[in-house]
Amino acid sequence: MPGEQKPLWTDGWLQQCIHVPSPNFSQRPQHTEISLVVLHNISLPPFEYGQQAVQRLFTNQIRADEPDDFMRSLINLRVSSHFLLERSGALTQFVSCDDAAFQAGVSRFDGREGCNAFSIGIELEGCDFEPFTESQYAQLGGLLQTLCECYPIKAVTGHQHVAPGRKSDPGHFFQWDRLRAQGLPVTTEYQWLL
């Protein structure tokens, strides 16, 4: 019908972004409340952006004949995230938020192990050694607000906070106060020992 609005979400897929389905996910345990968002950073090859390498990693398309040694070392990895936010602010979704993406690995939050089961992962194209872009912060704020409206999110935290010593992302350049200013439930406490 003319003028009819499309739903914002369909089966855990945000309709206002690019969809590139990844095979690297599992069903969440039955009756699991999705209560956490984990923020990451990623650049492939390291410190390089905009080459679609993250998309290829998350869809198992890294090839044995990659020209870069580092990229070839990733050929057998089976990882993903729910979302990727590029430097430009472009947003891609790889896994339905109703499913568990392979993003946090060995992790713990609020006394619960295995954060993949109850979290949504967002990768920011970037690294530990330089600031993120204004476009990324603008898109991230909107995405987090949307997620908090749709899911019972109780906390937004970093990979470094759920897997300290093993992970350092999104890193010290990430501006957590920008999310707090939006009223988002940010926690940057290290949760591993709780």
Catalytic residues: 123
Distance CA 12, CA 178 (A): 26
Residue 29's contacts (CB-CB under 8 Å, 6 or more residues apart) are: 117
For 15, half-sphere exposure in the C-beta direction (CA atoms, 13 angstrom radius) is 7
CA-based max dimension of the chain: 54
Cα 65–chain centre separation: 28
Q: How far is CA 165 from CA 4, 160, 169, in A?
A: 50, 8, 11
Residue 169's contacts (CB-CB under 8 Å, 6 or more residues apart) are: 39, 40, 41, 42, 128, 158, 159, 160
